[in-house]
Amino acid sequence: MPSIYYLYSMEALFNSLAYFVPIGEAEKEIISNLFTEKQFKKGELFLQEGKVCRHAGFILKGLMRYYLTRDGEEKTFYFSRENEFICNYESFVPQIPSLKSIEALEDSTVCMISYDNLNLLYSTMANGERLGRLILEQVFVEALQNLNSFYVDTPEERYEKLLKAHPDLQQRIPQYYIASSVGVKPQSLSRIRKRLSMY
Amino acid sequence: MPSIYYLYSMEALFNSLAYFVPIGEAEKEIISNLFTEKQFKKGELFLQEGKVCRHAGFILKGLMRYYLTRDGEEKTFYFSRENEFICNYESFVPQIPSLKSIEALEDSTVCMISYDNLNLLYSTMANGERLGRLILEQVFVEALQNLNSFYVDTPEERYEKLLKAHPDLQQRIPQYYIASSVGVKPQSLSRIRKRLSMY
């Protein structure tokens, strides 16, 4: 039987899904049955490079980082945090080994759903397919905008966008991860921050 | 009344969609009513940077190129050709101005559907939402794999992947566009091709 804390936490997931389709009692029951809550300690991996991404998640609390390792160097792509979805779709959708890792940057609580259970949700919940389509559209567009920004924006512009989208992240993420996600070395990020603080 | 040629062409679209969900007579009628055929001359734009992408398409015949312009230089990202979908989802989904252009590299014939009609298709066709979800999953994964490959692959590896996925494209696409999509100058592509031909 789910604890009161558990039900309370799930509310955040219900609210996020209700942005896309109506979530009534019947839908809440299906969702509660198909998702399970999992804790990640700071530094623990949600997904390891080389393994198949078998779960999608919704972060109730915490912060995670997407990265890949190339020639021994880590390249940070993206951050996800509370009230956001977490999944490496390139691995999850075709169920093939992941090129990226996802790591908890803080102690995190995540509502997890397995690949099979997500497909069950799509097919059994009212508007399940519509929900899947609308969420995919959102994460797809966000992912493409982020990746494109590596081409079209300067590191300074990327840094400004990150701060604007997530003003609190500057305090929560170590500067070398921010630098990597912006596409510069930590020293260059310091210079960018100094320049920006002059305005 | 649609011509026989038109019905024949639409078959390619029906077949592609039938890969995802059953397409019977009722579905064919909805699809035929919501899509319209359009010709693009070589060099003509399917989508212009700065404009909102108001249509998604399915290429019946031809070949198109996605690119963006930065500091006066064109950067080619991707190619789509017959029996593939064509759309800049970053602009289409949120209906905001596009950062990229899409240009016909050959005289092309495309089945076009407007944003509103696609939403009508999702909501009125049996399995319409499911169809949308499954197509999005496919294009999402392909787009991410392509963009990630800029980080994880060498230009030589990107070139080999392009040839493997589309062996005929080498003859159909000017070498400077291939070079750009691989991430090198045309001279470097010549060297890569020479190296590869030695094996």
Written as six digits, the tokens of B154 are 């060498």
Residue with tokens 């060099």: B43
| Best residue in A133, A139, A153 for a mutation probing chain B (most B CBs within 10 Å) | A133
Report d(CA A87, CA A181) in Å as an integer: 18
Chain A nearest C-alpha distance from B15 (Å)? 21
Nearest to A119 by CA among A159, A92, A154, A81: A92
Q: What's the rounded Cα separation, in Å, for the pair A185 and B89?
A: 32
Judging contacts by C-beta atoms under 8 Å, the chain A residues touching residue B145 are 90
Helices (H), A125-185: 128-152, 155-165, 169-172, 175-182
**Res A3 pLDDT > 80:** no
Which residues does chain B have within 8 Å of residue A100's beta carbon, measured at their own beta carbons? 148
Is A96 touching B (CB cutoff 8 A)? no
State the smallest CA–CA distance between residue B75 and chain A in angstroms: 9
Question: In this predicted model, which residue has the larger pLDDT, A101 or A195?
Answer: A101
> How far B144 CA sits from the closest chain A CA (Å)?
7
Going by the DSSP 8-state scheme, the letter that residue A106 receives in this structure is: S
Which positions in chain A touch B91 (Cβ < 8 Å)? Answer: none
Give residue for tokens 């190296």.
Answer: B195
**Poorest-pLDDT segment among A18-22, B61-65, B146-150, B192-196:** B146-150
What's the CA gap between B160 and B6, in Å, rounded?
A: 36
Mutation target to probe the A interface, by most A beta carbons within 10 A, among B123, B151, B154, B157 is B151
Q: Is the pLDDT of residue A8 over 80?
A: no
For residue B195, what pLDDT band results from cuts at 50, 70 and 90?
A: confident
Nearest CA in chain B to A69: B152
| pLDDT at residue A167 in the model | 85
Instruction: Compare CB distances from A144 to B89, B138, B145 and report the shortest one's residue.
Output: B89
* A168, burial (CB in 10 Å: exposed 0-12, middle 13-18, buried 19+): exposed
- What is residue B17's predicted lDDT score, i.e. its pLDDT? 97
Query: Of B123, B58, B115, which Cα lies nearest the Cα of B92?
Result: B115
**Structure confidence at residue B4 (pLDDT):** 52
The pLDDT score that the predictor gives to residue A70 is: 82
Q: Measured between CB atoms, does A26 come within 8 Å of chain B?
A: no
Measured between beta carbons, which residues in chain B are less than 8 angstroms from residue A68? Answer: 148, 151-152
Q: Supply the ipTM of this predicted assembly.
A: 0.88
Residue B117 above 80 pLDDT?
Answer: yes
State the Cα–Cα distance between residues B187 and A22, nearest whole angstrom: 56
What is the overall mean pLDDT for chain A? 91
Residue of B nearest to A93 (CA): B137
Q: Specify the range with the lowest mean pLDDT, choosing from A43-47, A86-90, A188-192.
A: A188-192
- Contact state of B152 with A90 under an 8 Å Cβ cutoff: no
* Mean pLDDT value across chain B: 91
Tokens of B156: 């030589």
Q: Which of B68, B122, B145 sits opposite A90 (nearest CB)?
A: B145
- Identify the pLDDT of residue B141: 93
Q: Does the pLDDT of residue A1 top 60, yes or no?
A: no
Quick one: CA torsion of A167, A168, A174, A179, rounded to 10 degrees? Answer: -10
Both tokens assigned to A14 = 């219900």
Of A75, A136, A147, the CB nearest to B137: A136
At B43-58, the pLDDT tens digits run 999 999 999 999 999 9
CA distances from B120 to A23, B35, B68, B127 (A): 22, 11, 31, 12
Closest B-chain CA to A92: B141
pLDDT at position A166: 83
DSSP string, A28-97: HHHHHHH-EEEEE-TT-EEE-TTSB--EEEEEEE-EEEEEEEETTEEEEEEEEETTSEE--HHHHTTT-B
* Residue range B66-94, pLDDT digits in tens: 999 888 889 898 899 999 999 999 999 99
Is A127 in Cβ contact with B152 (below 8 Å)?
Answer: no
Environment class of A171 (CB within 10 Å of its CB; exposed 0-12, middle 13-18, buried 19+):
exposed
Question: Averaged over B186-193, what is the pLDDT?
Answer: 88
Residue B44: helix, strand or coil by DSSP? coil
pLDDT at B136 over 70: yes
Smallest CA–CA separation between A65 and chain B, in Å? 16
Chain A residue with the nearest C-alpha to that of B68: A152
Tell me which of B22-31, B71-80, B144-153, B155-164 is least confident. B144-153
Q: Which two tokens stand for residue A178?
A: 């921010």
Separation CA A183–CA A190 (nearest Å) = 13
pTM: 0.90
| DSSP output for B71-110 | TTEEEEEEEEETTSEE--HHHHTTT-B-S-EEEESS-EEE
What is the reported pLDDT for B6?
A: 53
Could you tell me the two tokens for B142?
A: 């392909």
A41-76 residue pLDDT tens? 999 999 999 999 999 999 999 999 999 988 888 989
